[in-house]
A and B are shown apart, each in its own frame.
Chain A
Amino acid sequence: MTTVLARPRLRVGIVKMASCDGCQLTLLDLEDELLAITERFEVVEFPEASSSRSAGPYDVLLVEGAVSTPDQAAEIVELRRKSQLLVSIGACASYGGIQALRNWSDHAAIRAAVYAHPEFVESLDQATPISEHVKVDAELHGCPISPEQLREVLVSVAVGRRPQIREEAVCLECKRRGIVCVMVAEGLPCLGPVTQSGCGALCPMYRRGCFGCFGPREQANTVSLASALVADDREDEEVARLFAGPTGWSGPFRSVVAAYGGPPGVIPFAVPANPEGDADGRG
């Protein structure tokens, strides 16, 4: 302990793109160790906690949110240049988040449906994960992220090792906690078998199926799970809706959503979608 002050404090920044701020607030959930954390890390940018701002550079930059506007697309490139380690945190930053549901719809029509004056709104056709724009050194999944996993990343940076974050299905947390499987015992649709653990099986603990907040686990066999749901008399629409949650834009989930007719409430593309994208989204 006496050696701590001899070490240089690492500069940590937290920035947000299109997001609800829930993930950055997770840092404040580490209540018991906040003081210890600030002894080792200098938190120079943290909009939810402090109005003081920093222009960088950062030893560690935690990025929350999806890239949804032209400004954000430019900003993330700039932030990457100023950061040693860039860690995306949360379902939005890693997979586009719930706002990526708009990716399935005609962007102009969605904007017209939502805003009285869509011409005042600058947004991209698609909300996309950080990794589609810049190199990401690590991703923390979840909606919101797990405080324990955030702590593990900070510890691993401080100690100089790899973070120990288990690659496994939610089912493992569920069964370790002794929760009776909601899918087998109650027939509830559940994404647990294809979803990365980290939440502590929160939803099954309250007799709900998993929503997939932590996104697809490694080698997620979403095709088999979707087939099993259909075999259990579920409509295609219900399967698509299940997979079209906060991480529905992730590859393994997106392909199921597409195969089962797209997410609910889609506004079809008026003209064939432009695969190159439309920089400012306005026609």
Chain B
Amino acid sequence: MVIDERMPYAPYPAPTGTAVAAPPANVAHGGGGPWFLARANLGVLIDLLREDGRAVIGPTVVDGAVTLAEIRSVDELPSGIGDEQQPGRYRLVSHGDGRTFDFAVGPTSPKRWTFPPVVPLNVGRRDGRAVSFEPSQLDAPRLAFLGVRACELAALGIQDRVFLGGPYTDEDYHERRRNALVIAVNCSSAASTCFCTSMGTGPEARGGYDLVLTELDEGFVVRAGSPDGADLLARLPVRAADAGQLLRAAESVGKVAATMGDPLPTAGLHDRLLAQFDSPHWARIAERCLSCANCTMVCPTCFCSSVTQRSDLDGDVSTSERVWDFCFTAGFAKVAGGSFRSRPRDRYRQWLTHKFATWVDQFGTFGCVGCGRCITWCPVGIDIRTELLAIAPPLSVRPEPARQIPVAATPGSYATARIVSVRPETSDVTTLTIGNVDPAFLAGEFGQFAMVAVPAFPPVPISISRFGRDSIDLTIRAAGPATAAIVGLGPRDEIGVRGPLGTSWPIERAMGHDVVIVTGGIGLAPLRPLLDGIIARRDRFEKVRLFYGARTLADQLYREELRAWAARSDVEVELIVDRGTPDWSGPVGVVTHLFDQATWEGERALAFVCGPERMMEATVDTLESRGLTPDRIFVTLERHMECGIGLCGHCQTGGLFVCRDGPVFALSQLGGVFGREGM
């Protein structure tokens, strides 16, 4: 179970009585639950709700997305359908596993029914000198929301605070909310855009629902969260859930949380953000921002609106409506004489600072629940997590700890993977492309490593040198018997892998800054994913430079890629070799020669260094002399590792387990350890 101390955004006031943990005593089944609802009986739930006169608003596939709409039967639910979400991109995928709720939130949230896009307000009339205004009748249908996620429960709680928690309440919202039953579903997967873990809202529903389901292969673990929910539960064909089902339900939610990690550290965010009102970064965002308001429209908490009038030709009768409106439109802050937020950058700042800072002042919570809709549905793919990290960097300078649940975490267990291709890089270095890997590997982070094993040889730590769509690369120097045995394998041979393990390059911290990458020999391997990642989102970074030293030209890794990077106008690549050869026309010497005269924005640049330890010491000295502070220099250490998870003790350096606390460290973390003889 997810333990979270942070505010769970409890609804204000509670929508349907007091939440209760278990069905009350009058529930016919006896015992305290939780209960199990067989998959075949999910339709009974929908039928019961409809019998009660409720329209069921649930997930269904419309126009290429899982969206919310009224559903009349269980067949309309998106069984076996999932989604892939990235900034600015949403695609449906087929799971084939027959699960009903195995997708992340789509473009529509319950807000569409609790705070509809258009609501009639009144009819105004003029008769001679007399005027009258007749308020529109509230028309709140009896609804049941099915499949509401934890982030959306939090959003309902936030809108409850906005519309019902202050001195004035919105009666239309109140009626709609009161007439809606909420049936939640705990998430069993997360999109790349999800960050409810950072906002403290999910992925597990912790209140604000009448019923909550957790999906298993064979059905659903069901709990009631209110008397209404308990009543409903009593009419469902459920039996007590067994211990195995409860365990799998708990694991399922825990795994989703682990997949997400904490992509947006919120500690101190309110103050950090408000200190950045004059950041130059607002203008940089505005270069990309279309101010089209899509982010705000898909946001489940945004609550702004405008009032429109439509009158007859004489202006004697006019109907008013409340329509969704947004701080991104030009007219929204307009008064006679102009707009208070005339530039798109002003509007973006208004929105972002409201969500993550001033909302807290107004309502006591963030205005963001981490559902990620604004990221997915931005036509140009602006990622608020990235922008927040660039504008208001986290307080911590430590690289984030490894976020994924590694595959085969214990030292004895290995997952098998298959070699797809073998590519010699140099006389003794080979890159293996490994397919059939667990998805957790593909979701690994730049700088992480894997423990790699073949039977009869000791396992070796190998940094992951590329994260492909369905494969990873391992670049290995045949330095001993184990590595020689691994590189001696061929395509279709299998190997054992554990991971991804260890810390990663803090790429988010580098966003908005100059990036300096210094590497030697095979040290380029763990930096290659970082370069891939930077190039994939090149516009998020300022100047990017790669300084790479090798013994000779023939010892350079990834020679074709080096050429391709060098050919880009937005990456500066400088190469040097220790020993010249007839086919080398570039400089000869140590890598620090390449940048001992270089200039960069020292206070804001970040350096990433990997290579032989002597080379790293010299590099760090030169970088520090050129204005980089130790908290902005990151190195990766190589040590003897066997377990890879901080249990075996081999890699300890000072108080650090290099495998678990590293291998990527900020220099400031290492203190006196780095470069000290005998450590």
Contact of B331 with A181 in the complex, beta carbons under 8 Å: no
Quote the shortest CB–CB distance from A98 to chain B (angstroms). Answer: 25
The complex places the Cα of A39 from the Cα of B312 at a distance, in Å, of: 13
Verify if A85 is at the interface (C-beta below 8 Å from B). no
Q: In this complex, which of B309, B314, B379 has the most chain A Cβ atoms within 10 angstroms of its Cβ? A: B379
Contact of B315 with A159 in the complex, beta carbons under 8 Å: yes
Q: Type the 1/0 row for B308-338, where 1 means its CB is closer than 8 Å to any CB of A.
A: 1111111110000001111001110000000
Verify if B287 is at the interface (C-beta below 8 Å from A). yes
Contact of B64 with A176 in the complex, beta carbons under 8 Å: no
Q: Which residue of A lies closest to B378 (CB)?
A: A184
Q: Type the 1/0 row for A189-215, where 1 means its CB is closer than 8 Å to any CB of B.
A: 010111000000000000100000000
Contact of A224 with B290 in the complex, beta carbons under 8 Å: yes
Contact of A184 with B313 in the complex, beta carbons under 8 Å: no
Q: Which residue of B lies closest to A190 (CB)?
A: B379
Contact of B377 with A181 in the complex, beta carbons under 8 Å: yes
Contact of B314 with A171 in the complex, beta carbons under 8 Å: no
Contact of B291 with A221 in the complex, beta carbons under 8 Å: yes
Give the interface segment out of B88-96, B435-443, B637-645.
Answer: B88-96
Contact of A159 with B314 in the complex, beta carbons under 8 Å: yes
Query: A158-B313, A193-B379, A221-B344 known; A180 and B65 CB under 8 Å?
Result: yes
Q: Type the 1/0 row for A147-178, where 1 means its CB is closer than 8 Å to any CB of B.
A: 00000101100110100101111011001111
Q: In this complex, which of A168, A184, A192, A218 has the most chain B Cβ atoms within 10 angstroms of its Cβ? A: A184
Contact of B330 with A218 in the complex, beta carbons under 8 Å: yes
A36, A168, A179: the one contacting B63 at CB < 8 Å is A179
Contact of B118 with A186 in the complex, beta carbons under 8 Å: no
Query: A180-B63, A183-B379, A190-B379 known; A172 and B329 CB under 8 Å?
Result: yes
Chain A positions within 8 Å of B309 at CB level = 164
Contact of A178 with B108 in the complex, beta carbons under 8 Å: yes
Chain A positions within 8 Å of B308 at CB level = 164, 166
Q: Which residue of B lies closest to A224 (CB)?
A: B288
Contact of B290 with A172 in the complex, beta carbons under 8 Å: no
Chain B positions within 8 Å of A167 at CB level = 329-331
The complex places the Cα of A82 from the Cα of B107 at a distance, in Å, of: 52
Contact of A169 with B107 in the complex, beta carbons under 8 Å: no
Chain B positions within 8 Å of A33 at CB level = 313
Contact of B311 with A159 in the complex, beta carbons under 8 Å: yes
Query: A33-B313, A36-B313, A180-B64 known; A219 and B291 CB under 8 Å?
Result: yes
The complex places the Cα of A219 from the Cα of B348 at a distance, in Å, of: 14
Verify if A37 is at the interface (C-beta below 8 Å from B). yes
Verify if B376 is at the interface (C-beta below 8 Å from A). yes
Contact of A194 with B330 in the complex, beta carbons under 8 Å: no
Q: Which residue of A lies closest to B108 (CB)?
A: A178
The complex places the Cα of A159 from the Cα of B126 at a distance, in Å, of: 13
Chain B positions within 8 Å of A194 at CB level = 290, 292
Contact of B315 with A155 in the complex, beta carbons under 8 Å: yes
Query: A224-B289, A228-B88 known; A180 and B379 CB under 8 Å?
Result: no
Verify if A270 is at the interface (C-beta below 8 Å from B). no
Chain A positions within 8 Å of B89 at CB level = 184, 187
Verify if B604 is at the interface (C-beta below 8 Å from A). no
Verify if B67 is at the interface (C-beta below 8 Å from A). yes
Q: In this complex, which of A169, A176, A183, A185 has the most chain B Cβ atoms within 10 angstroms of its Cβ? A: A185
Quote the shortest CB–CB distance from B292 to chain A (angstroms). Answer: 4
Q: Which residue of A lies closest to B309 (CB)?
A: A164
The complex places the Cα of A152 from the Cα of B312 at a distance, in Å, of: 9
Contact of B67 with A228 in the complex, beta carbons under 8 Å: no
Q: Which B69-119 residues sit within 8 Å CB-CB of chain A? A: 88-91, 107-108, 112, 117-118
Verify if A1 is at the interface (C-beta below 8 Å from B). yes
Query: A169-B292, A176-B117 known; A207 and B379 CB under 8 Å?
Result: no
Verify if A15 is at the interface (C-beta below 8 Å from B). no
Chain A positions within 8 Å of B63 at CB level = 179-180, 185, 207
Query: A166-B331, A218-B330 known; A180 and B67 CB under 8 Å?
Result: yes
Verify if A55 is at the interface (C-beta below 8 Å from B). no
Q: Which residue of B lies closest to A176 (CB)?
A: B117
Quote the shortest CB–CB distance from A89 to chain B (angstroms). Answer: 18
B288, B311, B324, B343: the one contacting A172 at CB < 8 Å is B324
Q: Which residue of A lies closest to B83 (CB)?
A: A185
Quote the shortest CB–CB distance from B78 to chain A (angstroms). Answer: 13
Chain A positions within 8 Å of B289 at CB level = 221, 224
Chain A positions within 8 Å of B323 at CB level = 176
Contact of A225 with B313 in the complex, beta carbons under 8 Å: no
Contact of A169 with B293 in the complex, beta carbons under 8 Å: yes
The complex places the Cα of A239 from the Cα of B288 at a distance, in Å, of: 17
The complex places the Cα of A168 from the Cα of B89 at a distance, in Å, of: 23
B67, B293, B316, B377: the one contacting A168 at CB < 8 Å is B293
Chain A positions within 8 Å of B326 at CB level = 172
Verify if A40 is at the interface (C-beta below 8 Å from B). yes
Verify if A114 is at the interface (C-beta below 8 Å from B). no
Contact of A225 with B377 in the complex, beta carbons under 8 Å: no
The complex places the Cα of A142 from the Cα of B668 at a distance, in Å, of: 61
Contact of A185 with B112 in the complex, beta carbons under 8 Å: no
B91, B311, B344: the one contacting A185 at CB < 8 Å is B91
Query: A180-B65, A184-B88 known; A175 and B380 CB under 8 Å?
Result: no
Chain A positions within 8 Å of B310 at CB level = 152
B292, B380, B381: the one contacting A171 at CB < 8 Å is B292
Verify if A4 is at the interface (C-beta below 8 Å from B). yes
Contact of B288 with A4 in the complex, beta carbons under 8 Å: no
Query: A1-B314, A176-B117 known; A181 and B329 CB under 8 Å?
Result: no
Verify if B598 is at the interface (C-beta below 8 Å from A). no
The complex places the Cα of A225 from the Cα of B309 at a distance, in Å, of: 33
Q: Type the 1/0 row for B50-75, where 1 means its CB is closer than 8 Å to any CB of A.
A: 00000000000011110100000000
Query: A180-B65, A184-B379 known; A193 and B292 CB under 8 Å?
Result: yes
Q: Type the 1/0 row for B617-637, where 1 means its CB is closer than 8 Å to any CB of A.
A: 000000000000000000000
B287, B314, B325: the one contacting A224 at CB < 8 Å is B287
Chain A positions within 8 Å of B298 at CB level = 175
Q: Which residue of A lies closest to B87 (CB)?
A: A184
Verify if B297 is at the interface (C-beta below 8 Å from A). yes
B62, B292, B297, B324: the one contacting A180 at CB < 8 Å is B62
Contact of A228 with B379 in the complex, beta carbons under 8 Å: yes
Q: Which residue of B lies closest to A165 (CB)?
A: B331
A and B contact pairs by CB, cutoff 8 A, 28 listed: A3-B314, A155-B312, A158-B315, A159-B313, A161-B315, A166-B329, A169-B292, A169-B329, A171-B292, A171-B297, A172-B325, A172-B329, A179-B63, A180-B62, A180-B65, A180-B107, A184-B89, A185-B65, A185-B90, A190-B379, A192-B292, A192-B379, A219-B343, A219-B344, A223-B287, A224-B380, A228-B88, A228-B379
Residues on B close to A: CB < 8 A? 62-65, 67, 88-91, 107-108, 112, 117-118, 287-294, 297-298, 308-316, 323-326, 329-331, 343-344, 376-381
* Contacts A177-B117, A224-B380, A227-B380 supplied; 4 other A-B pairs, CB < 8 Å: A36-B312, A171-B293, A193-B290, A221-B287
Nearest 10 CB-CB pairings of A with B: A193-B292, A159-B315, A175-B297, A176-B117, A180-B63, A228-B380, A185-B64, A193-B290, A218-B330, A169-B292
